Amino acid sequence: MKTTKLNVALIVLVVMGIGFSFTTSNKVTVKGSDTMVILSQKWAEVYMKKNPGASIQVTGGGSGVGLAALINGSTDIANSSRPIKPAEIEKLKARYNSMGVEIPCAKDGLSVYLNKANPVTTLTIKQIGLIFAGKITNWKEVGGPDATIKLYGRESSSGTFTFFKDNVVRTDFSPSCQTLPGTAAIVNAVKKDKYSIGYGGAAYAEGVKDCAVKKDDKSPAVLPTGATIKNHTYPISRYLYMYLKSKPTGEAKAFIDWILSAEGQKLIEEVGYYPLK
């Protein structure tokens, strides 16, 4: 009997311990965009090394997941690779009577990937949009060989998908667009498929060709490089955001200020994205 009681006592202790560990610690939680997970983790890691008292917990899940968690109050900071949607602001307002605080913290270029064997090297934004909307289906329509265009894209839960849809395609994606989980999968698919086109972060383009993008027919073609993304001559670039319910205070404020400082911004390039300046 004694051991049974001891076991019960132990279980109760463990349960209580777990319970308390959730309530008493005052760590900053960061949740959201999978694009930003590596970057956020790097930030948290370096910041915690500098400030041993700080506890910053980073999880991914996707931009929408992070913003939903912000609305539900289960995270302090939401990472998002797309701007907050009006519907989400509406929910924040209903719940916290606040518009949310937006903090652009890094820049990212969305690159259009082409297979290295593809003779096409430049496209206008309009052509890219029409290709992904399924209006242009053959490479010869954009000055390439007579071959069907294979489309690779992200699933609709991705922030990258939403950004590309809102800013480049501007209508529904073609139903023949194959959606793959993750940018790396798209790069791999494009690498193996000669007449394919895909999109994703500029940092991922390994083994594929970045498409030089023209704003319109007359403007020059720009390749996504660090310089062109930073000074906005490359047309498909975006901000990576952090969202909060209200102006940051305490630990979160210190962390964000540090991210925006030169020191935090310096880390961005190590991960493959681009600093604000």
Partner 1 sequence: MNSQSPIKQTFTKESLKKQFRLSEFLSEKIITSVAFLSIAIIFLIFIFVFKESLPLFSFGNKAKPNTEIQSNTDKPETYGAATEELKPETYGATTTEELKPEIYGSEPVSNEELKPETYGESKKEDLSVPLADEPMDAVSENKEGADNTWSTFFSTEWVPVSDNPRFGLIALLIGTLKVTIIAILIAGPLAILAAVYTSCFASNRRKEIIKPIIEMLAAFPSVVIGFFAMMVLATFFQDVFGYDSRLNAFIGGVAMALAAIPIIYTISEDALSAVPKTYTEASLALGASKAQTAFKVILPAATPGIFAALLLGVGRVFGETMIALMATGNAALLSANPFESVRTFAATIGSEMAETVFGETHYSVLFFIGSLLFIFSFILNAIAEFYVKGKLIKKFQGK
Which residues 248-277 are close enough to bind partner 1 by CB under 8 A? Answer: 248, 256-257, 260-261, 276-277
Among 43, 164, 204, 243, binds partner 1 (CB under 8 A): 243
Among 36, 238, 268, 273, binds partner 1 (CB under 8 A): 238
Q: Which of residues 193-212 bind partner 1 (CB under 8 A)?
A: 193, 196
Least Å distance between CB 238 and partner 1? 6
Angstrom distance (rounded) from CA 79 to CA 33: 5
Q: Which of residues 132-191 bind partner 1 (CB under 8 A)?
A: 133, 135, 148, 150-151, 155-159, 161-163, 165-167, 170-173, 175-181, 185, 188-189
Least Å distance between CB 80 and partner 1? 11
> 90 or 270: whose CB is closer to partner 1?
90
User: Nearest CA to 240 among 151, 169, 145, 163?
Assistant: 163
Q: What value does the CA radius of gyration of the chain take, rounded to a whole number of Å?
A: 22
> 148 or 270: whose CB is closer to partner 1?
148
| 194, β-bridge pairs | none
Residue entry with tokens 């610690």: 25
Q: Which of residues 101-120 bind partner 1 (CB under 8 A)?
A: 101-105
User: What is the distance between the terminal CA atoms of the chain, rounded to a whole angstrom?
Assistant: 69
Least Å distance between CB 52 and partner 1? 25
Contacts of residue 118, Cβ cutoff 8 Å, sequence gap at least 6? 139, 144, 194, 195, 209
Cβ-contact 115, 194 below 8 angstroms: yes
**Alpha carbon 36 to chain centroid distance?**
5
Q: Which of residues 54-93 bind partner 1 (CB under 8 A)?
A: 61-65, 68, 83-84, 86-90, 93
Residue entry with tokens 């279980």: 11
**Alpha carbon 271 to chain centroid distance?**
13
Regarding 230 and contact with partner 1 (CB under 8 A), the answer is no
